[in-house]
Structure 1
Amino acid sequence: MPTIGCFCPILTNIPKVDIDENGTFKYILIAISCPRHPNGSNPCITVVRGGRRYDYHSDMYTEMTNITRLKPYPKKSLGGGYIYFDPEHKIIHIYGTSIGFGPADHNLTARILRKAYPEHIITTATPNEWWPDDKHDGKYAPIHYPWELDKEGHFKRRYYGED
C-alpha cells in the first residue's frame, strides 16, 4: 500500500500509471521505496506499468530498474496480470496473472487506475475467469467478455452462472 505522508521529491514526480490506452496487454505492479525506508518496507508509491510493447512482465520491471534517477530507490514487484482497455466504451478490465511474478492485487491496481481514469468503468476478475486465446494477435484475451450491449445499445455487466 502506498504510504501517506512520504514526500520523496523524486518519487512524487514519477507517474503512478504508464499503460497503453487501447487493446489487451500485460501489466505489472511495482512498489518503490525511498532510502529512508530500510529493506524496501513501507513503499512510498505503487505504480502500474504495462503495454503491448513488452514481451514479458519482467521487461516492465527491468525498464523501471534501469531508470537512472530511480536506481538508488528499492523496488519490488507486486505481481502482474493483464489489462483489457477499450477507450471507445471507457472500459478497463484487469485479470490474469504473471507466470514470473505471480498474480498482482487486481483491486489495488483498480484503485490506482481509477485515479488516472475516473471516467472509465474499471473491473477485475480472478485468474480462473480468463484464459489465453490465440485468435487475438497472440495476446491474452477473455473467454467471457465481461460486458454486453443491452437492447438500447448501452453496455452492461454480463453475469454468468445462476442469478
Structure 2
Amino acid sequence: MEEYTTNEEDQQEAARLQTRLRQQQQVSNDDVSSQEYQRLPNVSIDKGKHKYVLISAMTPSGERQHFVVSKKGAAYHRDAAEPFVEALERCGYKSIDIQGGGRIRFDPQNKTISVYGYSYGFGLADHALSKSVIVQDPRFHDYEVTWSNEGY
C-alpha cells in the first residue's frame, strides 16, 4: 500500500471543504423536503488499513447522527470525506461537520477493527466516539473494536 504524506495542497483542500460546510450551515436548508431524506448507514468502512473520518450530520427531523467512514485508496482524509459528504447532501442531511480523522484497520477474517491516529487536514477524531458508532452497528456486534490516539 502506497503511503501519502499530507502536503500543503491537501491541507488547503481540506480547509476548503470545511469552509464550504460551515457556509452551508449558515444557509437555510428548508428546501429539503422529508420525502428527499434517505437515511445512510452510520458505518461505511472498507476492509484493510485506510484513512478514516468521523462526520456528524443532522437529519431533517433534527436528529444528530455520527458516521465513521473509510475508503480504500483514499490518499488523503478528504478523499474519504468528500464522497460521503456529497452523499449526505444528496440524501437530505444538514449541518454536516467533519469532526476529525485517523486510520482504521478492518480485518473481517479475524473480526477486529482498530481505530487510531489523526488527520493533518481535519485534526484528531474522537476515537472513543468512533468506536461507539461502530459497536452500535449490528454488522459488527461480535467484533473486537479497539481505539488509541497513538500512531499515524
Tell me what 1:58 maps to. Answer: 78
Structure 1 position 105 matched with structure 2 position 126: yes
Residue 123 to residue 72, structure 1, CA distance change in 2 (3 Å): closer
SS at match of 2:125: coil
Match of 1:14 in 2: 40
1:118 equivalent to 2:138? Answer no
TM-score normalised per structure 2 = 0.67
1:120-145 per-position Cα deviation (integer Å, ceiling 9, x unaligned): 00011123xx24xxxxxxxxxxxxxx
- Whole-Å separation in 2 of the counterparts to 1:114 and 1:26: 19
Is the CA contact 2:45–2:106 (under 8 Å) kept in the aligned structure 1? no
Question: 5 Å matches for 1:17-28?
Answer: 17-20=43-46, 22-28=47-53
Q: Could you tell me which runs of 5 or more consecutive residues in structure 1 were left unpaired when the two chains were aligned.
A: 1-7, 38-42, 132-163
Question: In the alignment, is the contact (CA less than 8 A) between 2:118 and 2:124 conserved in 1?
Answer: yes
2:113 is the counterpart of 1:92: yes
TM-score, normalised to structure 1's length? 0.62
- CA drift of 1:61 comes to 2.2
Count of residues in correspondence between the two structures = 115
Q: Unaligned regions of 5+ residues in structure 2, if any?
A: 1-33
What is the identity, as a one-letter code, of the residue corresponding to 1:32? A
Question: Which structure has greater helix proportion?
Answer: 2
Partners of 2:59 and 2:146 lie apart in 1 by 31
- Cα separation, 2, equivalents of 1:119 and 1:72: 30
SS in 2 for 1:119: coil
**Cα distance in 2 between the residues matched to 1:110 and 1:49:** 12
**In percent, how many aligned pairs have the same letter?**
30
Residue identity in the other structure for 2:100:
G
Higher relative contact order (CA 8 A, sep 6+): 2
CA distance in 2, matches of 1:54, 1:34: 26
Paired residues of 1:65 and 1:71 also in contact (CA < 8 A): no
Alignment of 1:48 onto 2:68 = yes
- The Cα RMSD (Å) is 2.2
